[in-house]
Structure 1
Amino acid sequence: MITPPEVFKSLADETRSRATLLIASQGELCVCELMFALEESQPKISRHLAQLRSSGLLQDRRQGQWVYYRLNPHLPAWVSEVLQLTLDANPQWLQHNAHRLLNMEGRPLREVLCC
């Protein structure tokens, strides 16, 4: 089970916080979407996503050439609540990133997951 220090250490970096909150708001995002929204390089985004995955906050799935990241569905309720509260209380903090994501051309298409 993920502990409070693990959660807060994982989110202490601004790139990881922004990526996690964007993923929480969108359901799932791929590396290219996060690169575009956060205006960061692929190696930097991938490194941060690997840290978030190893901490237990995120899970990934492959679909063709894409790797999609989503919140770990087995997170304790308190973690999900903290993320949602942070999203609700700080919409302006992600506004620029969310706007960039919304206007990204050529976003990958997702297959509908049945389960």
Structure 2
Amino acid sequence: MDLQELVDRSWAIRQAYHNLEVKYHDSKWTVEEDLLALSNDIGNFLRLVMRKQGRYYDEIPHTLEQKLSENIWWLVELSQRLDVDILTEMENFLSDKEKQLNIKTRR
């Protein structure tokens, strides 16, 4: 999967969730509610990392891989709601870091 497909599929999934939010709660979640959901998922991800390292007990019904992917999904979704072109901004970020750290890329 390329990054544009990731963005497109993430957006379609979020729109389906928005439809459910409207159906059951009469309005879509706000950006702040999305951030709250992300912060909850980050907490779950942290516990899964701790569990993998033997520092937390097994109570979470998700896998580390699922939660990591879900957190990336939330960030992609939030970038669109905040009008941030995540593909361009990631390219800029990576290019800046490569330049800063004198990393030669094979592009």
* TM superposition score category, shorter chain reference: under 0.3
Larger radius of gyration: 2
Higher-helix-fraction structure: 2
With normalisation by structure 1, the TM-score equals 0.24
With normalisation by structure 2, the TM-score equals 0.25
